[in-house]
């Protein structure tokens, strides 16, 4: 079985490497726009499927098993994707301060015959109260860039987290335990 990760995320690559599986990385150019009001779990699932199918349909990837993933942070029904800039990151982190938010990761596994197996994992994350200075100091590191919700739980953003309920790796962008269970079911 040739396995492909349809993601340029270094975090997803590191997590999949932990499994010992051999895989290749092929990034997707799939459209990640979802209509406003779409449930965040459904949105993450839809985007993950778009990414995986876009890669699976490439000539060089035909016959492979392709994994696509997308992570969305949600608070009070609002979706927080990757911040556009430092100001957007500040807005997100201020909103998450002293609150519990949910991190959704949609995962799609496309088989060689283009059938799709998919699931969504959710994890609740609670933040300590954050001061303006804490947020600005964190933003100055640049770590917020390319992170759903504007923080990295495995990096400097860890100091914001007072607790989680669910899969830690889901917050990093790939619920690796569940992914392996799903791969074992189909292969």
Q: Would you tell me the crossing angle of helices 10-17 and 176-186 to the nearest 10 degrees?
A: 60
Distances (CA, A) of 47 to 13, 15, 91: 18, 20, 24
In the beta sheet, which residues pair with residue 73?
Answer: 80, 103
32's CB contacts (< 8 A; 6+ apart) are 47, 50, 51, 70, 81
Is 70 a catalytic site residue? yes
Given the residues 70, 76, 85, 137, select the one marked as catalytic. 70
Tokens coding 95: 């909103």
Q: Are 72 and 79 in contact (CB under 8 A)?
A: yes
CB contact at 8 A, 96 and 153? no
Give the catalytic positions in this structure: 70
């Amino acid at each position: 079985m040739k396995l492909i990760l349809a993601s340029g995320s270094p975090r997803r690559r590191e997590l999949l490497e932990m499994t010992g599986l051999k895989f290749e990385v092929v990034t997707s150019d799939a459209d990640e726009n979802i209509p406003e009001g779409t449930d965040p779990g459904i949105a993450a699932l839809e985007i993950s499927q778009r990414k995986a199918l876009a890669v699976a349909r490439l000539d060089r990837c035909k016959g492979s098993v392709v994994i696509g993933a997308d992570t969305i942070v949600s608070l009070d029904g609002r979706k927080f994707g990757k911040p556009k800039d430092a100001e957007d990151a500040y807005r997100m982190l201020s909103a998450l301060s002293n609150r519990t938010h949910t991190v959704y990761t949609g995962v799609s596994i496309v088989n060689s015959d283009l059938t799709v197996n998919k699931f969504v994992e959710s994890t609740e994350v609670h933040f300590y109260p954050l001061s303006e200075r804490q947020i600005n100091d964190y933003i100055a590191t640049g770590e917020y860039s390319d992170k759903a919700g504007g923080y990295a739980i495995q990096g400097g953003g860890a100091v914001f987290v007072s607790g989680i309920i669910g899969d830690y790796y889901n917050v990093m962008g790939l619920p690796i335990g569940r992914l392996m269970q799903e791969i074992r079911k189909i292969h």
